[in-house]
Structure 1
Amino acid sequence: MDALPSSPLEWLCTGVTLLFGVTVLCMVKRSPVEKADVLVWRVLPALLGLLCVATLGAGVGLVVFCAGCLISSMYLGVRALLPVGDKAVLITGSDTGIGHALAKYLDSLGFVVFAGVLNENGPGAEELRRTCSQRLSLLQLDITNATQVKEAYLKVSEKVQNTGLWGVVNNAGILGIPADAELLPMRTYRQCMEVNFFGAVEVSKIFLPLLRKSRGRLVNMSSMAGGIPLPRYAAYSASKAALSMFSGVMRQELSKWGIKVAAIHPSGFRTGIEGTSDQWDKQIKELMENLPAATRQDYGEDYLLGLKSYLLHIPAYCSADLSPVLSAALHALLAKKPHGLYTPGKGAYMYLCIFCYFPLWFYDFFISKMMSTESLPRALRTSEAESKNL
């Protein structure tokens, strides 16, 4: 058997494969962050094509090879990342949870990070000072405080000067107490909207001039609950849904400035947003004290106290591994072609698909089974008992 190609078509296959190999090596050298993706999605089609040439002949092999190259090129067109360079990113809510982990992660990759914290002397801020590089700057930033937002803008603009700010990650958020919508005080609805929506809008508006200079990225950390209705999350879901819609509108409006906008809808992750046991006790006590007498009678104190049991079980259903969210945020910040919506985490995309593409009755039935609780309000238990006795 000849070692060299014996026909023009085989020579063509060999030439294309060599050219492809040189391209792969160049891409790996330019994009070290994406080295694994490049090697897998570029080398695999090449090997497949050569195998097909050997087994099926040059004609069929070339067709399979070209098809593989096309698919891998489309995939890598989405996966390709820009170099970090000296890109500067502002992250709100960096005291704990996703914001804290993201600040550390981006700092380790070489970003210039501005970490906005609710308490610049708190344990989260101290840990960032201790573990991160000198590139990271801490900002006292309560996003519901217009004065602090403006002061943060002045500090950031002074440091980035003419280069602009590459990215803003609106991560700060609160959960409130998960409870039936009827039970939640109006204060909870207002607090969720103030932090999760109005605060993010305020930060976005203030920092957009810096994003225009760099033609950078606006990333809004929404939630799976911002895309689908979930029982007991009325206040939180409404505020996150508002943030998601804001992201969609901004994505359209800011495209003419070269600014790309993304919303991230994580599923359940263990971030500490649900609060502590002492905070739950205080919130449930306030909730019970402020309920109308008729409502308290219908629900029953045992049902209301059972809300704490529900809160205690939330972390058990959440993942402690934040890497899917961090990867989504990095892609939103650096991808040449970022997605408009990211759904990291177990079940996030599945729930959204069921809500969008299945009948609502099926979605409601599905959610009722997935999030069912044993306890019922007192009035419903009484009604069931009376029905059984008839």
Structure 2
Amino acid sequence: MWFWLLAFLGFYFLFRWYWYRQILQNLTDKYVFITGCDSGFGNLLARQLDEQGLRVLAACLTQRGIEQLKEATSQRLQTIILDVTDSENVAAAASWVKQQVGDRGLWGLVNNAGIASPMAPNGWLTKNDFCKILNVNLVGMIDVTLSLLPLIRKAKGRIVNVSSVFGRISFVGGGYNISKYGVEAFSDSLRRELCSFGVKVCIIEPGAFKTPITDLKYIEETIQQIWSCLPEEIKESYGQASYDNYLKNQHRTLNARSSKLTLVTDCMEHALTAVHPHTRYSAGWDAKLFYLPFSYLPTSVADFLSLMQ
């Protein structure tokens, strides 16, 4: 009995390993459009895919980002300035992509552009603070996706949306968690909608990594600025201890960030190049061993543990 059970499990994991290791052929004929390539995951992925021979179309927010990326890549890689919050800019970028890919369509779209600040307790923030993040991480991502959808359907390609472990659990206030929950919802509905077109939609859920958007100094300065601008009534209501504790928790979380960004970009690459990509990718040991298991706890238990921090 136990022998056959172990044999079955061994066969299952061997088959699973083989199934997900199969890579597509003719990758050099495929175009991939990536947003947020100035730095971090987007920049590394653009260089990584360029080395693999794919035709990378990299969108950067700044001219400096474009220049630095071009210095590190081949002449195959093409760049464009893109602010995902500007609908006219998004439409122009979509037209540019169409010119680049021609009749073959767009194989891959990686929605990577994102910001994390302002991040603070909800009661310290304004509507504009929430909108600043939502407009980039969620609304901008949706705008880019809808603009390029006809090209992706034509190629029966892939959409890779960068979410976060904080798209499953909310430890902090502000728009970041909300935006990532939205990314998860949009991706799920899009995956089911596009299945009949042969398009696959994958979600990347990284843990904490050292990228410019999680720069500790910048986030602490932002929190300090938000606190200093609050009315005295709100400061007194929350108390100085609440502010100090919030800063301490952020400092502890951000100090645990991983610097191995390839854990994330390897997931992105697999989602774009594997014959059978995963629906979701959890990147980082903190995501696999803490955040995702935490998200499956009963709400009362999760709330209790959160309050103990």
Q: TM-score, normalization: structure 2?
A: 0.90
Residue 101 of structure 1 pairs with residue 41 of structure 2: no
Q: How many residues align?
A: 305
Residue 152 of structure 1 pairs with residue 93 of structure 2: yes
Deviation at 1:74, TM superposition (A): 3.3
Residue 323 of structure 1 pairs with residue 283 of structure 2: no
Alignment of 1:347-362 (within 5 A): 347-350=286-289, 351-356=291-296, 358-362=297-301
Residue 89 of structure 1 pairs with residue 32 of structure 2: yes
Deviation at 1:342, TM superposition (A): 1.0
What residue number does 2:187 align with?
247
Question: Using a 3 Å threshold, how does the CA distance of structure 1 residues 66 and 308 change in structure 2: closer, same or farther?
Answer: closer
Residue 297 of structure 1 pairs with residue 239 of structure 2: no
Question: Using a 3 Å threshold, how does the CA distance of structure 1 residues 316 and 64 change in structure 2: closer, same or farther?
Answer: closer
Deviation at 1:185, TM superposition (A): 2.1
Letter in 1 for 2:265: L
Does the 8 A contact of 1:269 with 1:318 survive in 2? yes
Does the 8 A contact of 1:184 with 1:287 survive in 2? no
Does the 8 A contact of 1:176 with 1:236 survive in 2? yes
Structure 2 unmatched runs, 5+? none
After superposing on structure 2, the runs of 4+ consecutive aligned residues of structure 1 that deviate more than 6 Å are 63-67
Helix, strand or coil for the counterpart of 2:285? Answer: coil
Residue 270 of structure 1 pairs with residue 213 of structure 2: no
Residue 214 of structure 1 pairs with residue 155 of structure 2: yes
Letter in 1 for 2:16: M
Deviation at 1:170, TM superposition (A): 0.4
Question: Using a 3 Å threshold, how does the CA distance of structure 1 residues 293 and 112 change in structure 2: closer, same or farther?
Answer: same
What residue number does 1:125 align with?
66
1:35-94: CA deviations, max 9, x gaps?
xxxxxxxxxxxxxxxxxxxxxxxxx99x99898556423331122121323211111011
CA separation in 2, counterparts of 1:345 and 1:79?
Answer: 20
- Once the two structures are overlaid, the 10-residue window that deviates more, 67-76 or 182-191, is 67-76
CA separation in 1, counterparts of 2:235 and 2:72?
Answer: 49
CA separation in 2, counterparts of 1:273 and 1:86?
Answer: 33
Letter in 2 for 1:102: L
Deviation at 1:338, TM superposition (A): 1.4
CA separation in 2, counterparts of 1:273 and 1:309?
Answer: 18
Deviation at 1:178, TM superposition (A): 2.8
Letter in 2 for 1:224: V
1:290-317: CA deviations, max 9, x gaps?
x343211122356546655655555421
CA separation in 1, counterparts of 2:13 and 2:284?
Answer: 25
What residue number does 2:14 align with?
72
What residue number does 2:276 align with?
337
Question: Using a 3 Å threshold, how does the CA distance of structure 1 residues 100 and 233 change in structure 2: closer, same or farther?
Answer: farther
What residue number does 1:32 align with?
none
CA separation in 2, counterparts of 1:359 and 1:342?
Answer: 23
Alignment of 1:1-390 (within 5 A): 71-83=13-25, 84-119=27-62, 121-122=63-64, 124-230=65-171, 232-275=172-215, 277=217, 280-281=220-221, 284-289=224-229, 291-301=230-240, 303-304=242-243, 311-350=250-289, 351-356=291-296, 358-369=297-308, 372=309
CA separation in 2, counterparts of 1:325 and 1:276?
Answer: 20
Letter in 2 for 1:274: T
Structure 1 unmatched runs, 5+? 1-59, 373-390
Helix, strand or coil for the counterpart of 1:182? Answer: helix
Does the 8 A contact of 1:177 with 1:280 survive in 2? no
Higher relative contact order (CA 8 A, sep 6+): 2
Percent same amino acid at aligned positions?
Answer: 33
CA separation in 1, counterparts of 2:182 and 2:248?
Answer: 29
Does the 8 A contact of 2:125 with 2:226 survive in 1? no
Does the 8 A contact of 2:124 with 2:226 survive in 1? no
Letter in 2 for 1:144: T
Question: Using a 3 Å threshold, how does the CA distance of structure 1 residues 286 and 159 change in structure 2: closer, same or farther?
Answer: same
Larger radius of gyration: 1
Does the 8 A contact of 1:93 with 1:173 survive in 2? yes
Does the 8 A contact of 1:288 with 1:304 survive in 2? no
Q: TM-score, normalization: structure 1?
A: 0.72
- Once the two structures are overlaid, the 10-residue window that deviates more, 137-146 or 342-351, is 342-351
CA separation in 1, counterparts of 2:223 and 2:6?
Answer: 62
CA separation in 2, counterparts of 1:228 and 1:315?
Answer: 17
Helix, strand or coil for the counterpart of 1:147? Answer: helix
